[in-house]
Amino acid sequence: MSAKKLLLFVLLGLIGLAVVTGIAAVLFPDGWVPEEILATIAVIGVYTLGSLVTVTAARAMPRLLVVCLVTAAAGCAGFISVIWLEGVISWRASDWMVRICGASVFVCLAMVHRMVLGPMRLRAGFGRVVLRTALISGPIVAGLIAMMMLWENWYDYDELIVRVLGVSAIVAAGSSVATGVVWFFERRPEHDEPGLIGEGVPVELACPRCGSMIRGRSNRECRCEGCRLKVRVEVEEPRCACGYLLYQLVGDVCPECGRAVAAEDRWAVPEGAGGALA
């Protein structure tokens, strides 16, 4: 079993445990399920659900994903320790543990924000601006909230910090939503043209795993005869920065926006067309 499947089964198992415990607490008399167990299951359930969503939606940055999951696991363990050690450790120690674990939640949210928006590739200049704005303002918001939770004397500068936090939060929310909107509409083909070459053309390439020669067709899955690695090569016609498909375009200017088309993106029929792409 792969590590990914094992992690998935563990997360689903923890969510199932939280559901069963919650149902038992509702059906059985008060006190049958200790409050510590209910609180522990609630914390595990929330963290597990968040981790499951993170693993599903943010897989393009595996290293950052690992750091995020480790940070979340440490925060979850900290909250559980506070629940079970409430009468053992001092109030001061308990308070600081809650502060640190709470700050770790916003650190994880900042990393998730980065993993979701970071892989987006936007062609339009406005899209790139709002993407960078979102990637910068998101960690600022998370950092300010974490600072407020860890720094006891932030009240001395409460007006300044709250104003900066409010502006940063508004900018982060607006730019993040704008990034998603621009990315969604840029992904839609212009003039109902898909951009991908519909007819598969012969493709030859060396297998990245074993080095054997793979022969197949573009935009279709094929397997290496040596190690059975599944490969798919997509051949796509270039587009202008505005999104206009340059397929069979005559001239060197985009008819949609008037931009000059780079020489390497201009349509041309190469000699011997129809051969394999190597």
Please give, one letter per residue, the 3-state secondary structure of the chain: CCHHHHHHHHHHHHHHHHHHHHHHHHHCCCCCCCHHHHHHHHHHHHHHHHHHHHHHHCCCCHHHHHHHHHHHHHHHHHHHHHHHCCCCCCHHHHHHHHHHHHHHHHHHHHHHHHHHHCCCCCCCHHHHHHHHHHHHHHHHHHHHHHHHHHCHHHHHHHHHHHHHHHHHHHHHHHHHHHHHHHHHHHCCCHHHCCCECCCCCEEEEECCCCCCEEEEECCCEEECCCCCCEEECCCECCECCCCCECCCCCCCECCCCCCECCHHHCCCCCCCCCCCEC
Q: Is the pLDDT of residue 116 over 60?
A: yes
Same domain, 171 and 203: no
Same domain, 179 and 213: no
Same domain, 225 and 168: no
Same domain, 133 and 230: no
Q: What is the pTM of this model?
A: 0.61
Same domain, 257 and 195: yes
Could you tell me the residue range of the domain that residue 258 belongs to? 191-278
Same domain, 152 and 234: no
- Average pLDDT over all residues of the chain: 79
The DSSP code for 226 is T
Q: End of a domain among 119, 154, 186? A: 186
Q: What Rg do the C-alpha atoms of the chain give, in angstroms?
A: 26
Same domain, 156 and 181: yes
Same domain, 170 and 211: no
The tens digit of pLDDT for each residue in 87-107 reads: 788 888 888 899 999 999 999
Same domain, 75 and 89: yes
Q: End of a domain among 146, 162, 186? A: 186
Residue type for 208, please? Answer: P
Residues forming a β-bridge with 203: 216, 277
Same domain, 25 and 134: yes
- Total structural domains within the chain: 2
Q: Is the pLDDT of residue 278 over 50?
A: no
Q: End of a domain among 186, 214, 236? A: 186
pLDDT, mean of residues 244-255: 74
Whole-angstrom distance, CA of residue 130 vs CA of residue 140: 15
The DSSP code for 30 is T
**Of residues 235 and 142, more confidently modeled:** 142
pLDDT, mean of residues 175-187: 82
Same domain, 152 and 139: yes
Same domain, 135 and 259: no
